[in-house]
Chain A
Amino acid sequence: MQPIRPELVQEMLDALKGEPVYLHLEMTTGAYANKRNQSMLTASAFITNAEVRYSQGSIAGQGPYRIGLKTETGWVYAQGLTHWEEQEKDRIIAAGHDDEGKLVVAFQLSKQPF
């Protein structure tokens, strides 16, 4: 993973716009959050290979970044994105890692299922 370059992410969001794409969206505190710190709530959610089509998609912020996709009937939103795979040319694999390197949020888009 490399630090996100927003201008390149934007190009890919533009390229995938209007087409049926597969989305992986995830956020997690880690399964042991409450064990490590009792004031923390262990929580996570993910949806994998959800089919979406968006009419507007952009990346915002100065880093960490946000991505918002306006779909036909709603929105897809992710905040806290820090890293992505720069060598991926046909799909977006992005995530937000905390200062220990642990994944907190993931955002992935592809024409093929993950």
Chain B
Amino acid sequence: MEPNTILVVLPHPDDEGIIAGTLIQYAKQGAEITYICLTLGEMGRNLGMPPFANRVTLPEIRRQELHACCGIIGIQQVESWGLMDKTVEFEDQELWIQRIMDKMKELKPSLVLTFYPGHGVHPDHDAAGRMTIEAMRRLSPEERPVVHGIAMTAHAKDLLGPADVVHDVTAYVEQKIRAIQAHKSQFQLLIGNGSFEDPKRLAHYRTERLWTYRFDD
């Protein structure tokens, strides 16, 4: 059965681009998607090329880009929780674990998407994943949704094994690229020095890999 209620917990506007194809597919199947975006990515290095944003204007620009991107993907609810970029791991973890738990009790998602702890590369990614997983650990196994984690480290496959959730999103790749491009201040960083026409890059965008997090109980 396809998941009908999905909760996404990621720390930065544009993180959702990594799994945009998966989310587009779920949205088309009728899923209700809520996305908690913990920060506004206000410490990001990319301010447009040439720079059209600055440190003061970036948060609001990124908030707008986030909403534009989510509109293209089909995410119905976007919540910005207002933490400061780069500082998620230094926040009161208990407070945010509790809030994530409250959100899960309210929404009762059947699927949660977040970063796989230890494989996020960015410390905010790991902190978001850790807090989300901890919130879920506190639910009973019966009420606990499935978690699919994003792993970005080079050694993810060695430590976790091959991804067990592999989505071919070829059918949605153009929509996915448009969603990523909605982050106008960021997408040059997201595509590196290449372009979306690069066949290798396009191949990379067609497949999204996720790892199911296994709880001990």
Please tell me if the beta carbons of A100 and B121 are within 8 angstroms of each other in the complex. Answer: no
Q: How many Å lie between the Cα of A93 and that of B56 in the bound state?
A: 8
Contact residues of A between 92 and 114, Cβ < 8 Å to B? 93, 95, 97, 100-104, 106, 108, 114
CB atoms of A100 and B188 under 8 A apart: yes
Contact B56 A103 (CB under 8 A): no
Contact with A along B24-66 (1 / 0, CB 8 A): 0000000000000000000101111111101110000000000
Q: When chains A and B are docked, how far (Å) is the Cα of A17 from the Cα of B171?
A: 60
Q: Are A102 and B55 in contact (CB under 8 A)?
A: no
Q: Does A46 contact B (CB under 8 A)?
A: yes
> Taking CB as reference atom, which chain A residue is nearest B47?
A103
**How many whole Å from A40's CB to the nearest CB in chain B?**
13
The docked-state distance in angstroms from the alpha carbon of A24 to that of B86 is: 15
**A-B residue pairs, 4 tightest by C-beta:** A101-B49, A102-B45, A1-B51, A103-B45
Chain B residues whose CB sits within 8 angstroms of the CB of A24 once the complex forms: 55
Residues of A within 8 A of B193 (CB): 100
Number of A-B contacts (CB under 8 A): 60
Q: Are B56 and A102 touching (Cβ within 8 A)?
A: no
Q: Kindly supply a per-residue 1/0 record for chain B positions 97-123, scoring 1 wherever the CB is within 8 Å of any chain A CB and 0 otherwise.
A: 000000000000000000000000111
Most buried by A among B43, B45, B50, B189: B45
A29 CB to nearest chain B CB (Å): 9
Stretch at the interface among A7-15, A30-38, A57-65, A73-81: A30-38
Q: A1-B52, A93-B56, A103-B55 are in contact. List 19 more A-B contacts (CB 8 A).
A: A1-B50, A31-B122, A31-B123, A32-B122, A35-B121, A44-B86, A46-B43, A83-B51, A95-B54, A97-B51, A100-B49, A100-B188, A100-B193, A102-B46, A103-B45, A103-B47, A103-B51, A108-B55, A108-B56
Question: A28 at interface (Cβ–Cβ under 8 A)?
Answer: yes
Bound-state Cα–Cα, A28 to B189, Å:
15
> Contact residue range for chain B?
20 to 34
* Given A85-B54, A93-B55, A102-B189, A28 and B47 contact (CB-CB distance below 8 Å): no
- Determine the chain A residues whose CB is within 8 A of the CB of B55 once the complex forms: 24, 26, 93, 95, 103, 106, 108, 114
- Sorting the interface of chain A by its residue count into under 10, 10 to 19, 20 to 34 or 35 or more gives 20 to 34
Of the listed residues B47, B54, B121, B189, the one surrounded by the most CB atoms of chain A closer than 10 A to its CB is: B54
Smallest CB-CB separation from B154: which chain A residue? Answer: A35
